[in-house]
Amino acid sequence: MNYSRQREIVKDILQASYDHPTAEEVYLEAQKVHPGIGIATVYRNLNQLVDAGEIRKIPLGNGNDRFDGHLEEHYHMLCTSCGRLQDLRPSEEKLAELRKLAEETFGLKQSNRATFAPTVMEGVCDKCRRSKKVV
């Protein structure tokens, strides 16, 4: 992949964010840095970065895919009330337990170990529960 200033801007936005923005949100941020950038350019660069393994796409099934610039192993929690997507970062010990469970459940051998895949769990966040948006 050749260097592109627009791609660098998109990647920088995602690496500075823990909010898991949509493509449209990345576009709005990118316009602050590069006012001439187009929405098609943002979509194209997001897809190229995903294909290159430099960012992750988190499909939520509602057409509003989110993007994550943090590649270390972690999972996500989606609030079904407000739509906020938060990182869930288990300890190395918990991650090892999850891998072992997957390997035992599916009979995986050492040569075919379980690997990380973005996972999204759903529930209601504390903020929504406290604000009584949801009981």
Dump pLDDT digits (tens) for 36-67: 999 999 999 999 999 999 999 999 887 789 99
Compute the C-alpha angle 45/64/14, nearest 5°. 45
pLDDT score recorded for residue 8: 96
Give alpha helix (H) positions in the chain.
5-16, 23-33, 39-51, 92-106, 126-130
pLDDT greater than 90 at residue 28 = yes
Q: What is the pTM of this model?
A: 0.83
- CATH fold for domain 1-71: Arc Repressor Mutant, subunit A (1.10.10)
Taking all residues of the chain, what is their mean pLDDT, rounded to a whole number? 89
Q: Enumerate residues 6+ apart whose C-beta is below 8 A from 117.
A: none
Hey, where are the domains in the chain?
Answer: 1-71, 72-135
pLDDT score recorded for residue 110: 64
**Facing residues of 79 across strands?**
123
Parallel, antiparallel, or unpaired: how do β-strands 120-123 and 75-79 relate? parallel
Using pLDDT thresholds of 50, 70 and 90, give the confidence band for residue 134.
low
pLDDT greater than 70 at residue 125 = yes
What mean pLDDT do residues 8-27 have? 97
Q: Does 72-135 match 1-71 at the fold level?
A: no
Using pLDDT thresholds of 50, 70 and 90, give the confidence band for residue 117.
confident
- CATH fold for domain 72-135: Dna Ligase; domain 1 (3.30.1490)
